[in-house]
Amino acid sequence: MIKICTVVGARPQFIKLAVVSRVLRREFQEVLIHTGQHFDHNMSEVFFEEMDIPRPDYNLGISGGTHGQMVGQMLIKIEEVLLQERPDMLLVFGDTNSTLAGALAAVKLHIPVCHVEAGNRLGTFDNPEEVNRILTDHSSVLHLVCTASGVDFLRREGFSDSVHLVGDPMYDAFCYYSARLEGSVLEELTDLTGAPAHLPDSFYYMTCHRQENTDTDQKLEQIFQAMDCLDAPTIYPVHPRNQERAARLRQAGGYHNIHLIQPVGYRASIAMVHRAKKIVTDSGGLQREAFFAQKPCVTVFDWVGWPETMVNRCNQLAKPDKVDILNKLGAQAWFDPAYQPFGDGHSAEKIVEQIRVYWNGR
Ligand code: UDP
């Protein structure tokens, strides 16, 4: 049986893993390596529990530090595991430091790399994840792509036969788990700021954790000013990296219309997507989920990550500026149900099929 080592480390990768691993294990042997990049219970463990993800075979316990320290330590440890396991292939998702470290460790050992969510580009190295995307793609033998724009980017970089449009495993997860949401899923919200934890009937769902928006007070302050004067409260599950800053700014500004809560599990997150009025985020995953649920989204970021979501003001870029955010939130969006650029909810099957075809051809 072909042995595949999968490397994951961060929240969005656990979500993609949940749907892909379920199909992959029907015909391949999977060895799962968790780098430890996300380690808090509600950033890691909760996803394994509620999405029935197999336990990692290895947890490397590497998190924090500079990008160089993190990637360097992961590279050393992943190489040790690969030398021991001798897999036929390495599978990585997305664009985190864990993705890059996995791909580099494997390509140096001449282990073929399969990259899921290949071809996504912002067009700037000012974004730290862009480096991970490009270097991972250029270390990979198989490029499995979510949308047509990703195929175009890869073609322009010289790739052809290795590129396959398979759809977005985030859409698979969204369809699968949306059909299985229970009413109780939203009772688990834990308020960070002391107010009673309950979900209002009408609310905005916000996440904000990108380095570009959270490395100074100023940008988050502008976002809070915008969200505080809306017609409904904002629910903001705060990434651990950003909790101290968010709580301090909320307190100083008296932004009582914004509720800071602990990060929630995946099912609670998509339940909030379904129930929210609108979504404000800097997350690549959440802006797609807003689109899947046909909820207008404002993405506070300088670059377009998912151009397919930007049609008809379904998703609009805003600067981290109060007036710009409020203007964009006030605009009317229009969703065309016939436009489905993220596939049919069965990308996991197509991913596994392409891996099978790759091995059959050798
Ligand atoms: N998400 C979650 N709990 C939260 C906030 C977000 O489960 O408290 C989910 C969200 O629904 C989406 C994913 O996490 O599926 C996005 O992950 P993240 O924003 O960390 O990464 P990105 O998509 O920006 O790479």
User: Is residue 14 a contact partner of residue 41, using CB atoms and an 8 Å limit?
Assistant: no
Query: What pLDDT score does 183 carry?
Result: 65
Model pLDDT for residues 220-232, shown as the tens digit of each residue: 999 999 999 999 9
Query: What pLDDT score does 362 carry?
Result: 83
Q: For residue 239, report the distance from its CA to the centre of ligand 1, in Å.
A: 9
Which atom number of ligand 1 is nearest to the Cα of residue 261?
A: 8
How far apart, in Å, are the Cα atoms of 78 and each of 109, 115, 346? 11, 16, 30
Neighbouring C-alpha atoms within 13 Å toward the C-beta of 92 = 33
What DSSP string runs through 101-117? HHHHHHHHTT--EEEEE
Strands 163-165 and 204-207: unpaired
Q: Is the model's pTM score more than 0.85?
A: yes
User: Is residue 81 a contact partner of residue 111, using CB atoms and an 8 Å limit?
Assistant: no
**CA–CA gap between residue 206 and residue 320 (Å, rounded):** 13
Position 253 pLDDT exceeds 60: yes
User: Is residue 223 a contact partner of residue 252, using CB atoms and an 8 Å limit?
Assistant: no
How large is the average pLDDT for residues 132-136?
A: 98
User: Is residue 353 a contact partner of residue 22, using CB atoms and an 8 Å limit?
Assistant: no
Position 274 pLDDT exceeds 80: yes
Helices (H), 35-186: 45-50, 67-85, 97-108, 128-137, 148-156, 169-178
How large is the average pLDDT for residues 186-206?
A: 73
Check pocket membership of 237 for ligand 1, CB cut-off 6 A. yes
How large is the average pLDDT for residues 21-27?
A: 97
**Is the alpha carbon torsion for 35, 40, 43, 48 positive or negative?**
positive
Among 207, 287, 292, which is best to mutate for testing ligand 1, by the most ligand atoms less than 8 A from CB? 207
DSSP 163: E
Position 280 pLDDT exceeds 60: yes
DSSP 332: P
Report the percentage of the chain scoring pLDDT > 70. Answer: 96
Tell me, yes or no, if 138 is annotated catalytic: no
How large is the average pLDDT for residues 295-315?
A: 97
Q: 3-state SS of the chain: helix, strand, coil percent to 5? A: 45, 15, 40
Query: What pLDDT score does 215 carry?
Result: 86
216 is written with which tokens? 């100074």
- The one catalytic residue in 115, 209, 239, 259 is 209
Check pocket membership of 219 for ligand 1, CB cut-off 6 A. no
Check pocket membership of 173 for ligand 1, CB cut-off 6 A. no
Model pLDDT for residues 76-115, shown as the tens digit of each residue: 999 999 999 999 999 999 999 999 999 999 999 999 999 9
138 is written with which tokens? 């250029």
Which atom number of ligand 1 is nearest to the Cα of residue 173?
A: 15
Amino acid at 247: A
Position 127 pLDDT exceeds 80: yes
Q: What phi and psi values does residue 290 have, to the nearest 5 degrees?
A: -60, -45
Query: What pLDDT score does 197 carry?
Result: 61
Whose CA is closest to atom 11 on ligand 1?
Answer: 269
**CA–CA gap between residue 286 and residue 265 (Å, rounded):** 13
Q: For residue 50, report the distance from its CA to the centre of ligand 1, in Å.
A: 15
Position 196 pLDDT exceeds 60: no
Check pocket membership of 263 for ligand 1, CB cut-off 6 A. yes
How large is the average pLDDT for residues 154-161?
A: 97
User: Is residue 120 a contact partner of residue 146, using CB atoms and an 8 Å limit?
Assistant: yes
Nearest to 268 by CA among 358, 331, 207: 207
Q: pLDDT band for position 185 (50/70/90)?
A: low
Whose CA is closest to atom 7 on ligand 1?
Answer: 266
Position 200 pLDDT exceeds 90: no
Q: For residue 286, report the distance from its CA to the centre of ligand 1, in Å.
A: 6
